[in-house]
Copies of this chain bind each other. A is one copy, B any other.
Amino acid sequence: MYADLTVNQFLDALASKEPVPGGGSGAALGGALAAALVSMVCNLTIGKKGYEAVEREMEGLLVESEAIRKELPQLLEADTQAYARVMEAYRMPRASEEEKQAREAAMQERLKEAAEVPLRIAERCARVVALALPAARMGNKWAVSDAGVGALLAEASLQSALLNVEINLASIKDAAYVEGMRQRMVSLVEEAVRTKAEVMEAVHRTING
Chain A residues packing against B (C-beta within 8 Å): 2-8, 10-12, 14-17, 19, 22-23, 26-27, 29-30, 32-37, 39-40, 43-44, 65-66, 69, 73, 142-143, 145-146, 148-150, 152-153, 155-157, 159-160, 163-164, 166-167, 170, 203-204, 207-208
Contact = CB atoms under 8 A, between A and B. Distances in A.
A122 to B, nearest CB: 12
Contact of A4 (B6, B39, B69, B207): B6
B73 A143 contact: no
A188 B112 CA distance: 39
A21 to B, nearest CB: 9
State the copy count for this chain. 2
Contacts of A8: 3-4, 73
A22 B40 contact: yes
A22 to B, nearest CB: 5
Given A6-B7, A36-B14, A163-B149, A143 B26 contact: no
B14 A3 contact: no
